A and B are shown apart, each in its own frame.
Chain A
Amino acid sequence: MLQASLQSTAQSVEVKADKRSILIGERIQYDITCILPSPGYAVSFRVPDSVSHFVMVENKAIDSIAGSNDFRLHKRIVFTSFDSGSWHIPSVDVQVERSPYNRTLKTDSIPVEVGYSPADSTGSLRDIKSVIEVTVADYTLYYIIAGVLLLILAGLLFYRYVINRNKDKGPEGNHGLPAFDEAMAALSELEQSGFSNPEQVKNYHTSLAVIFKRYCSRKSGTDMMNRTTGEILLNMQQYNDSTFLSKLAEALRCGDAVKFAKFLPAADDSTGSLERIREAIRYLEEVHLNTKQ
């Protein structure tokens, strides 16, 4: 009885962990040692399959150590944790049997702190990998060239636009003067030049038509030099003035007859045509001025 009592008090279990505070993923060695007075005991470490908040990395086999006064059974389990916080590795049952003796010993639970690596802003930064030097191409020159080319292209397009716009504006004339003044000056010059032979009459009437077409071209901004009498009269219908239209038609049709039908009008008719063209230009100028106002 006394022996049994002694034996019962002689068995004990110790537990220890090499760390009480780990970083996430760091390993912790958990050792359970069962101390027995002598060999001949059946010992069973009832380690659970899983421990909450921990991952069992290694579950080593039981090791036995025979000492001079006792007999020890040792088991090592390696845990880790990926769950930050304060956790406990729970108590583990160790069953010790030797007939008729049967006893369950319990280990202490061990608190473990699982945390992140503390940030240290004072420490120097370390490269994860060795630094690889990258050569960066300098595109500045290309950008400058492209910009210059674009400017040249834009300049060319603008130049073309200006050329075409000027083309539309009609014939080259005395552009130093406004269209009206230029037409009046040309009519005065024509009036003074006079005509004495059929060829001069032809030129006289041709010039009348040209002066009128040039004035219209400059005023409207479209080339009217290549328009026929009919087309010009059709264009003039926009002013809705029958007197103006009939006088203009008379002058231009007379010019057509001179140019294309060998018609030789009387001197009065020719000067009358000039007056009609002059009136028509004055009328158009007035209309333009009124429209502007």
Chain B
Amino acid sequence: MLQTAEDIRLLNEKISYSSNFVNRINDELGKVIVGQQVMIDRLLIGLLSNGHILLEGVPGLAKTLAIKSLAQSVHAQYSRIQFTPDLLPADVVGTMIYNQAKNEFFVRKGPIFANFILADEINRAPAKVQSALLEAMQERQVTIGDTSYALQEPFLVLATQNPIEQEGTYPLPEAQVDRFMLKVVVGYPSKTEEQQIIRQNTQGLVVPAIHAVASTAEIITAKELVRQVYIDEKVENYIIDIVFATRFPGQFNLAKLKPLIGFGGSPRASINLALAAKAHAFLNKRGYVVPEDIRDICKDVLRHRIGLTYEAEAENVNVEDIISDILKSVNVP
């Protein structure tokens, strides 16, 4: 759909009005979460662009608190699934239970029937459970028995992985990791933030309550607006160049990366980069995407979509380094 300058101007105005709930959510989350603004932004990007998020970070970085608080602030349903080796697909999606009195089966829906799902330590459950969750994420519906049930809107899955303690885990295959829109690496807070965390957790007697400051309807409207955010052809080409540079680094004067990259980003990477950039623009109250949006979100979109070779591992090169090199080399429009 071609948009005129007037369309974009109107969209800008609409977005600037409709994105007010973002500030309210940020303020509300700020009551209980110190720092971690990037993680909160990414949660909102996932929420607004129909994506799901894989969160990697050591325990205790407010991952659970963030999604729980986000659910509370949006007045949405939240459920947490702790992935363990003995978990079954039915424990996630639900199952048919026999009612002896009525002599019939009835459906007991699983915890996936919520707006915000925290799949804690997703790599601790076997592949069949992971598949059940990922399928539900992709299809946005679940089949129990003969009936298919649509999942509620908004629907955001936040899966966590622990970067340490890899023994006894079932690492997600590349094809399944690709289904996550963003892979966010959560870092430690700064010294000042940590001091604030200590004070908040040791001095205050009452934990501040999170109030619902946005409705699911607002979120759904925002999602529609995000889809309408204008993305210029030059910016599209910029996205394509970045993704192509992960596949054919030689074409972008990055021949040195060729032996380090096993496989580059899929077309899903380009789609998600564009969608995430649109959501990023929306969060910044803009009706159009600028290269900054792409650069800001690029690492989180591509991090889990680029496969490294053994040579890269031997040389201690990580995906972030490769993406940084690509961003330096690909010309900004």
Contacts and interface: CB of A to CB of B under 8 A. Distances in A.
Interface of A: 225-231, 256-257, 259-264
Given A228-B332, A229-B292, A262-B8, 9 more contacts: A228-B290, A230-B296, A231-B292, A260-B234, A261-B8, A261-B12, A261-B232, A261-B287, A263-B8
A263 B9 contact: yes
Interface in B285-303: 287-292, 295-296
A257 B292 contact: no
Contacts of B287: 261
Contact of B292 (A230, A262, A264): A230
B208 interface: no
B331 interface: yes
A132 B287 CA distance: 95
Nearest to A198: B5
Contacts of B5: 261-264
12 contacts: A226-B330, A226-B332, A231-B295, A260-B232, A260-B234, A260-B289, A260-B290, A260-B333, A261-B5, A261-B230, A262-B5, A263-B9
A227 B288 CA distance: 18
Contacts of A229: 290, 292
Contacts of A261: 5, 8, 12, 230, 232, 287-288
Interface in B116-157: none
B260 to A, nearest CB: 21
A263 B7 CA distance: 10
A92 B127 CA distance: 113
Nearest to B295: A228
B104 to A, nearest CB: 58
B235 A260 contact: yes
Contacts of A257: 288
A228 B292 contact: yes
A80 B9 CA distance: 124
Interface in B311-333: 328, 330-333
Contacts of A262: 3-5, 8, 230, 232
A225 B330 CA distance: 11
A227 B331 CA distance: 9
Q: Which of A227, A259, A260 has the most CB of B within 10 A?
A: A260
Q: Which of B5, B230, B234 has the most CB of A within 10 A?
A: B5
Nearest to A262: B5
Contacts of A231: 292, 295
Q: Which of A227, A229, A257 has the most CB of B within 10 A?
A: A257
Nearest to B296: A230
A226 B289 contact: no
Q: Which of A256, A261, A264 has the most CB of B within 10 A?
A: A261
Contact of B328 (A226, A228, A259): A226
B9 to A, nearest CB: 7
A114 to B, nearest CB: 77
Contacts of B8: 261-263
Contacts of A226: 328, 330-332
A259 B232 CA distance: 8
A225 B329 CA distance: 11
Contacts of B289: 260
A259 B240 CA distance: 18
A263 B9 CA distance: 8
Interface string B5-18: 10011001000000
Given A226-B328, A229-B292, A259 B3 contact: no
A256 to B, nearest CB: 5
Nearest to B2: A262
Nearest to B288: A261
A261 B228 CA distance: 13
Contacts of B333: 259-260
Nearest to A233: B292
A231 B230 CA distance: 22
A173 B291 CA distance: 24
Contacts of B330: 226
Interface in B1-45: 3-5, 8-9, 12
Interface string B210-232: 00000000000000000000101
A261 B232 CA distance: 7
Nearest to B6: A262
Contacts of A256: 290
Nearest to B333: A259
Contact of B234 (A225, A227, A228, A259): A259
A158 to B, nearest CB: 21
Going nearest first, the 5 A-B pairs with the smallest beta carbon separation are A261-B288, A262-B5, A228-B292, A230-B292, A260-B232
A260 B230 CA distance: 8
